[in-house]
Amino acid sequence: MPEIRQDPGSTGRRPIEPGGEIDLHWHDRHQIVYAGQGVLSVSTPAGSWVAPATRAIWVPARMPHQHRAYGQTTLHTVGLDENPLGLEAPSALVVSPLLRELISAYTSGAGEVGERRRLLGVLLDQLRRSDESATYLPAPRDPRLTEVCDALRADPAEGRTLAELGRSFGASERTLSRLCKAELGMSFPQWRTQLRLHVALVLLAEGESVTRVAHRTGWASTSAFIDTFRRAFGHTPGARRA
């Protein structure tokens, strides 16, 4: 079990090289985590998020978490003593162009105290208006479901049905379906789609072509991948790379 260190949960920005990691840690303050460039994964014991530049992750105080960068990443963090969003669990929030610029300006550290206080107020006003986004990939607890999910993590293009996977790991389709609802809060196809989208974001950040990403993550066609990606993130994977 790795040691979980405490971090002050400060406000600022810093570059992270591709593949760079921030080890498991926690802080007394709430924190907004945002990748202004690149893609950032935020992992907790309960699951993980992958955040492109159109998403920010809310991390509540005292929640153990770790980060990993994909592509050249600029990490922005906003530490908060209060919880203006009323969120008790990590959440992904949609970042509008205005909110993106507010986070960038605030984490630069520039400006006098009064100016920064007003800037933070506007930032939080915009954040309260942001919709939550389904970029969460929950982690299973039951060993049978864990084996199935690990097989898909190892090969996101795996196309076997839940019944076929269950036979390989000694569990019935009915049992695995029940576990998906109880432990993941979603159906098996929904979880597999979320996993594929997470992997797709990582591969795009690492420079893979859209066609290659669609193939490696198991979509039937590039157009099907583009359509699913657009519905999930509000833009095409080609626009994401640009």
Task: Say if residue 136's pLDDT is above 50.
Answer: yes
For tokens 């999910």, the residue is 149
Instruction: Count the neighbouring beta carbons within 10 Å of the beta carbon of residue 76.
Output: 22
Mean pLDDT of 194-209: 92
Give residue 239's pLDDT. 74
Q: Which two tokens stand for residue 165?
A: 């996977």
Mean pLDDT of 203-211: 92
3-class SS at 57? strand
DSSP, residue by residue, 89-141: S-EEEE--HHHHHHHHHHHTT-S-HHHHHHHHHHHHHHHHTPPB---EEEPP-
In one-letter notation, the amino acid at residue 168 is: S
Give residue 3's pLDDT. 61
Tell me whether the CATH fold assigned to 5-136 matches the one assigned to 140-241.
no
Class for the domain spanning 5-136: mainly beta
Q: Looking at per-residue confidence, does 52 or 213 come out higher?
A: 213
Distance of CA 104 to the CA centre of its chain: 19
Task: Tell me the range of 77-86, 150-159, 228-237 where mean pLDDT is highest.
Answer: 150-159
Between 72-81, 107-116, 126-135, the lowest mean confidence (pLDDT) is in 126-135
Give residue 6's pLDDT. 72
The full set of domain ranges for the chain reads 5-136, 140-241
Mean pLDDT of 11-26: 90
Is residue 232 within 8 Å of 196, Cβ to Cβ?
Answer: no
Confidence of residue 156 (pLDDT cuts 50, 70, 90): very high
Q: Which two tokens stand for residue 212?
A: 């290659």
Alpha carbon distances (Å) from 205 to 18, 66, 70, 196? 9, 19, 6, 14
Does domain 140-241 sit in CATH 1.10.10.60? yes
Round to whole Å and give the CA distance between 172 and 46: 24
> What is the reported pTM?
0.82
